[in-house]
Amino acid sequence: LPDAFLDFLKENGLDPSIYIPRYIRLKPGLLELEAEIKCKPEKVVWLPGFFSIPPHIQIASSDVYRQGKIYGMDAASGAAVLALNVTPGDNVLDLCAAPGAKLCMLSDLLGSSGSLTGVDVARHRLAACRTMLQKYALGDRCRLFVADGTSFSLLPLRFKEWTPKRPWKERKKANKARPELIFYGRHSGVIGISKSELGYDKVLVDAECTHDGSFRHIQKFEHWGWKTLQRRVLDAQRTDTLTHLQLQLLTNGFRLLTAGGSLVYSTCSLTVAQNEDVVEQFLATNPSAELREIDVAKNWPCRSGRIPKTLRFDPLTSQTSGLFIAKFVKL
């Protein structure tokens, strides 16, 4: 690792040689996993459905993975989804859905009721979400939109399709600006706009960040080049741009939330600027937002963030990738 990144880890109290196990999530009732991947997975006692396996184990070539029976997903990411407390019947929005592991877990939690809307600005990354939904047979209640999460505005719809009455040229312009639908489950509701809709019951904003808390991501820079790391992770100007984006995503996600609904904001960055600072800026300008305790976190191996009621996972405390979680309720 380059000196600049070693200094970054030191500032955040992290040992670069820390051992981090790999995590997987299982579909209920799977019994053949141990024989298939040739190791004994250890149950993650604080996170239902998750198991840890040695990092050298390759699951991509196993039948259970190809058949859509196990998911590769870090335990901290699973905690962010669980913090949202999704229940059957909820209308859920995943505002930064790619690459799709959290989207699939949200769909599993919803079961056979409610709806799930996934949004991402990158079409090729959202296409990967579509592939995952199809692989795991989870798409019936999900729709995916290629759109900018800072301005996405389609609400969960249950009524008849909206029919525009504007002139043809105006309709053409409006339709061109609307999000691109690339996946539509058969029980996903009606596509359109309706002022009578109240909003989403639950919103997940797992915002774009520098990914410095993910050691697997940092390892990629061995191939991409360490100068790229300097530009994409450690550069102050890039961080400023990202924090502005994160605040916009959080603000728009909260705008789409129904009164009494819950929103979880998370990043896999270790920095205060992309986490606590964003939360403080958001709370200062949104009086109807209230930071809430994450009830399910009582036995989680994490620590408090700089702001009370926020949580931080990191390799030393949690043996997971780094992740920040804050939960809001709309009053």
Contact 275, 269 (CB under 8 A): yes
Write out the two tokens for 192: 């359109």
Amino acid at the residue 299: N
The total of other beta-carbon atoms located within 10 Å of residue 291's CB is: 16
Count CB-CB contacts under 10 A for residue 324.
30
Q: Which residues pair with 291 in a beta bridge?
A: 328
Instruction: Tell me the C-alpha to C-alpha distance, in Å, between residue 31 and each of 40, 55, 119, 197, 239.
Output: 12, 21, 34, 43, 45
Determine if residue 148 is labeled as part of a ligand binding site: yes
Query: 197: exposed, middle or buried (C-beta count within 10 Å: 0-12, 13-18, 19+)?
Result: middle
Has 268 been annotated as catalytic?
A: yes
201 annotated as belonging to a binding site for a ligand: no
Tokens standing for residue 236: 């102050």
Q: Let me know if 261 is exposed, middle or buried by CB neighbors in 10 A (0-12, 13-18, 19+).
A: buried
**Distance between CA 291 and CA 8 in Å, rounded?**
29
Query: Of 96, 142, 268, 302, which is the active-site residue?
Result: 268
3-state helix, strand, coil in the chain (%, to 5): 35, 20, 45
Annotated binding-site residue? 206: yes
Per the CB < 8 A criterion, the answer to whether 292 and 328 are in contact is yes
The secondary structure element, H or E, covering residue 251 is: helix 236-255
Kindly state the greatest CA–CA separation across the chain. 64
Please state, in angstroms and as integers, the Cα–Cα distance from residue 199 to each residue in 117, 203, 254, 257, following that order. 12, 10, 10, 5
Pairing status of strand 115-120 against strand 91-94: parallel
Which residues does the annotation mark as catalytic?
268
Binding-site residue ranges: 120, 148, 206
Binding-site residue ranges for S-adenosyl-L-methionine: 120, 148, 206
